[in-house]
Amino acid sequence: MSRREGSLEDPQADSSISPLPHLEAKIRQTHSLARLLTKYAEQLLQEYSHRS
């Protein structure tokens, strides 16, 4: 909380701190999306192999 308040006073300190958590969240989001797509692809592959 205090870090975000300090960023208003000191933008230079903010630029070195802020991008990291944002990037981490982005990576986590992409990772979960990739896992979801992988699960979906495996399901499709199973259905396809069962059909033939």
Query: In this predicted model, what pLDDT tens digit does every residue of 20-45 receive, in sequence order?
Result: 889 999 999 999 999 999 999 999 99
- Domain assignment of residue 9, yes or no: no
Going 23 to 24 to 28 to 34, the CA torsion angle's sign is: positive
According to the model, what pLDDT value does residue 52 have?
79
What's the number of domains the chain is made of? 1
Cβ neighbours of residue 43 under 8 Å, at least 6 residues apart? none
What average pLDDT does the segment 1-20 reach? Answer: 57
Average pLDDT, the chain: 80
- Domain assignment of residue 6, yes or no: no
Is the full-model pTM beyond 0.75?
no
Cβ neighbours of residue 47 under 8 Å, at least 6 residues apart? none
Give percent above pLDDT 90 in the chain: 54
- Domain assignment of residue 2, yes or no: no
Domain carrying residue 50: 20-52
- Domain assignment of residue 11, yes or no: no
- Domain assignment of residue 4, yes or no: no
